[in-house]
Amino acid sequence: MGNIKKLNFIVIDDSKLDCFIAEKVITNTGKSGEVRSFVSAEQALETIISAKNTSFPHTIILVDIQMPVMNGFQFIEAFELLGPEVINNYSIFVISSSINENDLKRVDNYVSVKQFLNKPLNSNILGALVDQY
């Protein structure tokens, strides 16, 4: 504590623009380490699995809900099966444009999800997020 602890970020969103915005907002906080973004949740999952036995700073995952092929919920479900030694390295935040109550309720059911964030992502939201760590 007290030291400058950098956080890594993984952004998962099928919109390239939203990935770009997230990357920029994250780097603008000045507190981020590596930031990677994926337009496909499957690729993000593969990356997380292949990083299993390496050591890296705590990583924040920002994941969108509605995506083709593998959506945010499917990603979280697959992620939660990876076991505590993987899961504990990450904190998941859902980021979505959804105002659907079922979506919001469903997010609450996943233990690994820290919080639901509304789009668009901005420096205030992300600043508050980073300050938790």
Partner 1 sequence: MNNRNKIKVLYIDDEQNNLVGFKATFRFDYNILIAIDTAQAYSHLKSHPDISVILCDQRMPETTGSLFFEEMRERYPDPVRMLITGYSDIESVIDAVNKGHIYRYIKKPWTDADIRSAIEEGNKYYVTTSMLAVKNKELQAAYDELGKFTYSVTHDLRGPLLSVIGAIDLAKTMDELTEIRSLLNMMDDAVKKLDEFIRNTHEYYNLKRGKLIFEKIDFKKMMTDASAIFNIAGRMDNVKFIANVSQNEDFISDENSIKIIMNNLFSNAFKFQKKNAAEKFVSAEISINNGNAEIIVKDNGIGIDESHIEKIFAMFYRATSDEPGSGFGLYNVKDAITRLGGTIKVQSALNEGTTFNVSLPSKVNEP
Give the footprint of partner 1 on this chain (CB under 8 A).
Answer: 14-18, 20-21, 24-25, 28, 39-40, 66-69, 97-100, 119-123
Q: Which is nearer to partner 1, 43 or 88 (CB)?
A: 43
Q: Which H or E element spans position 82?
A: none
Nearer to partner 1 by C-beta: 79 or 89?
79
Decide: helix, strand or coil at residue 54.
coil
CB of 72 to partner 1, least distance (A): 12
Residue (7 or 25) nearer to partner 1, CB: 25
Least distance in angstroms from the C-beta of 68 to partner 1: 3
* Largest separation between any pair of C-alpha atoms in the chain: 42
- The alpha carbon dihedral of 61, 67, 72, 75 has a sign of negative
Question: Smaller CB distance to partner 1: residue 6 or 119?
Answer: 119
Find, among 58, 118, 52, 41, the residue nearest to 85 by Cα: 52
At its nearest, how many Å lie between partner 1 and the CB of residue 20? 6
Shortest Cβ 120–partner 1 spacing (Å) = 3
CA 28 vs CA 55, 92, 130: distances in Å: 25, 20, 12
Strands (E), 28-120: 32-38, 59-63, 90-96, 113-118
